[in-house]
Structure 1
Amino acid sequence: MATTGAERAFIGSFTSAGGPGLVAASVDAAGALTVLGAVDTVPNPSFLAPAPGGSVLYAVSETGEGAAAAFDTAGPLPRLIGAPVDVSGSAPTHLVLTGGHLLTANYTSGSVSVLPVRAADGALEAPVSVLRHEGRGPHPERQQGPHAHQVKQDPTGRWVLSVDLGTDSVRVCALDAVTGALTVHGETALPPGSGPRHLAFHPEGRHVYVLNELEPTLTVLRWDAAAGTLEPAGRTALLPEGTVGESHASGVAVAHDGRFVWAANRGQDSISVLALDVSPEKPVLVTTVDCGGRWPRDLALDPAGRRLYAANEHSGDVTWFDIDPRTGVPSRSGSVEVAAASCVVFA
């Protein structure tokens, strides 16, 4: 039987909406999750990032004050390492480890914070720099100012990309691993009012897929790692023509073999399946499938790339799907209850 390539998963949730906090779950050979327990030592651990090859997990605390925390995951349940650290930004929604630092994307304050990671135990230290975005977009409610929604390392490890929903742009930044200074190398404008939320790289490392929250589309960009530049190459609809009703795209994942892209659509409560067989620059919408719940906030592939997991926030569950390797279409396999679920990561 095909395995997931992982023995444990961790699920983030919104404690302010009744979530249990940071949830630990076992993963069996069929990809099924079984909740082992939860810790609520940090409010709203909405997004998580495991340290590669180690037993440390990092979480944002998506609150008005904004914090990040490190957890030791060697035991049955995660254990807080030190105290949560103020990120000097409001409502951090995403985080990434790179260059000996933890970077957080702070939505409300429209900034990216850089926190040193202590090598001895993985504990976090106070921010050494905060990069504040500038600008706005045409949406009268959602784009009155910058809203950093994701921060992600490029495959070479040289650059950091910051996705801003409020300014309709992606910034390419350079991180000084010694000082922690983060500087903007360049900024790429996306269609006005599109509201970019998250991005994912194609496994060949030369293309980027940006998921737009304010319109149901996926923007394709060419990535030049040597120059650190992005070039728009096209845009694809995430929903069939004629679809009615609200849709707010949230999570995006790319198949390990580079043949498919999946995107979660809140409101429509669906997962879009896009094929890349023609070209990495020409995603083709194949179909949409039910997400197994309501308001899918994030999507995650298991480490083996054979299963897809949707964190359904409003229905309070994580649903998993087996992926047809020929068509890329997910088929529902099971689910587990987690109130106000927001993301899933594997360790």
Structure 2
Amino acid sequence: MTAFAAPPPPRPRVLHVGSYAPPGRGIYSFAIGPGGALAPLAVTPNANSPSWLLAHGGRVYAAEEAADHVAVYAPDAAGRLQLLQRQPSGGQGPAHMAVGAGRLWVAHYGDARFAALPLQPDGRLGAAASWRSCDGDCLPGPSQALKAPPGSQANSGHEAPHAHAIQVSADGRWIVGTDLGRDKLLAWPLAADAPRGPAHELALSPGSGPRHFVFHPQDAGLVYVLQEESSTLSTVALTASGPELLDEISVLPAGFAGTSYASDLLLAPGGRHLYALGRLHDSIGVLSLDRPRAPRLLDHHWVHGNYPRSACIADGWMYVCNQRSDQLSHFDLSRPEAPRFDGRQTGVPGPAGACVV
């Protein structure tokens, strides 16, 4: 009788959470268990504020906001992180990263530079090629958000250009970025894994502060842009002549007055809803995409924490990084149109961004 060895147990799904120092000490890793439960695995020391994390190809990439580097990690069999490389990010203050067309793309808030770093077969990164969000002496627009709530004091970031996000469209035709300081959405035609020619620029509402964006899951030519300072969502079409504004709505409740800073934008499971996070209002705004060119605000849900900077979705659960209350809030997404806080929170000091491997 032939004996067969039992297959090795599957590697656990692991949530990795980057943090701001202080109080954060690096990257906090948790095994994801049944029902979305989180079990602590390890803390990977990193004093450089690894604020934005990205998982790709079995590697974890961390934007070291305080050191202008990208750290590359390889998870071991238990999911704990081992450092492979630290590579200069190509600018100052890396704030956002994305993968596409064989590159890691980085947006830098500090000096308004975008960068492309070639991905090597083992997940390491080549040297960055970078460019500014604007040429010459470009000055930002007016600092007052015309569509901000009454009494809002949300006016950060308009003293200079600030690149805040970058992604490649799913059809590989465009590189899209935001410049919060100039209230611009930028789109470059993609050729040979690099931008081609000057950017097509779309001016958004003065003082609105475009931050993060997502593409429609079935239409790569539709982009939803979240404005940090006006807490609005712009719907943009990418056309042959450049981006075109289709719609703009508030992601705050009707009648809201005061200051709130919109932060992260996520596509809900199933692709029919968006989640817009708001800091100070401390909410998840749920938007319907039943009419893709005119999203509709449905509802708001308290994050059960303070200052939600970002969130991560995995296996039907959403983990919200509440930066100022030092914890993650767990939300059940079995009904994507109605995320439900399940009563659980996980302590992480200064959580900023997260990813799952």
2:331 matched to which residue of 1?
Answer: 321
Instruction: Identify the match of residue 232 of structure 1 among 236, 242, 245.
Output: 245
Cα 1:26/1:197, change in 2 over 3 Å: same
Aligned 8 A contact 1:322 1:330 in 2: yes
Matches within 5 A, 1:198-217: 198-205=212-219, 206-217=221-232
Separation in 1 of the partners of 2:213 and 2:352?
Answer: 17
Is the counterpart of residue 46 in structure 1 residue 51 in structure 2?
Answer: yes
Matches within 5 A, 1:60-139: 60-63=63-66, 65-76=67-78, 77-82=80-85, 84-119=86-121, 121-127=122-128, 129-134=129-134, 135=138, 136-139=140-143
Separation in 1 of the partners of 2:264 and 2:133?
Answer: 22
Is the counterpart of residue 308 in structure 1 residue 318 in structure 2?
Answer: yes
Q: What SS class does the counterpart of residue 30 from structure 1 fall into?
A: helix
Amino acid in the other structure paired with 1:24: S
Separation in 1 of the partners of 2:228 and 2:112?
Answer: 16
Cα 1:182/1:108, change in 2 over 3 Å: farther
Q: CA deviation at 1:133?
A: 1.4
Cα 1:181/1:289, change in 2 over 3 Å: closer
Q: What SS class does the counterpart of residue 304 from structure 2 fall into?
A: coil
Cα 1:174/1:155, change in 2 over 3 Å: same
Amino acid in the other structure paired with 1:7: R
Separation in 2 of the partners of 1:253 and 1:219?
Answer: 14
Consecutive unaligned residues in structure 2, runs of 5 or more:
1-11, 144-154
Is the counterpart of residue 269 in structure 1 residue 282 in structure 2?
Answer: yes
Aligned 8 A contact 1:254 1:262 in 2: yes
Aligned 8 A contact 1:221 1:233 in 2: yes
2:211 matched to which residue of 1?
Answer: 197
Is the counterpart of residue 287 in structure 1 residue 299 in structure 2?
Answer: yes
CA displacement 1:141-169 (0-9 Å, x = unmatched): 52122100111121113322111111111
Instruction: Identify the match of residue 168 of structure 2 among 153, 162, 166.
Output: 153
Q: How much identity, in percent, do the aligned residues show?
A: 30
Instruction: Identify the match of residue 349 of structure 2 among 328, 336, 339.
Output: 339
Q: CA deviation at 1:282?
A: 2.1
Aligned 8 A contact 1:159 1:228 in 2: no
1:244 matched to which residue of 2?
Answer: 257
Cα 1:228/1:161, change in 2 over 3 Å: farther
1:29 matched to which residue of 2?
Answer: 34
Is the counterpart of residue 186 in structure 1 residue 200 in structure 2?
Answer: yes
Aligned 8 A contact 2:16 2:355 in 1: yes
Amino acid in the other structure paired with 2:83: L
Question: Alignment RMSD, CA only?
Answer: 2.1
Q: CA deviation at 1:198?
A: 0.2
Separation in 2 of the partners of 1:74 and 1:94?
Answer: 25
Amino acid in the other structure paired with 1:87: S
Consecutive unaligned residues in structure 1, runs of 5 or more:
1-5
Q: CA deviation at 1:176?
A: 4.9
Q: CA deviation at 1:181?
A: 6.1
Count how many residue pairs are aligned between Structure 1 and Structure 2.
329
TM-score scaled by length of structure 2: 0.86
Aligned 8 A contact 1:263 1:299 in 2: no
2:152 matched to which residue of 1?
Answer: none
Aligned 8 A contact 2:267 2:273 in 1: yes
The runs of at least 4 consecutive aligned structure 1 residues that moved more than 3 Å come to 174-178, 180-185
Is the counterpart of residue 13 in structure 1 residue 19 in structure 2?
Answer: yes
Name the larger-Rg structure.
2
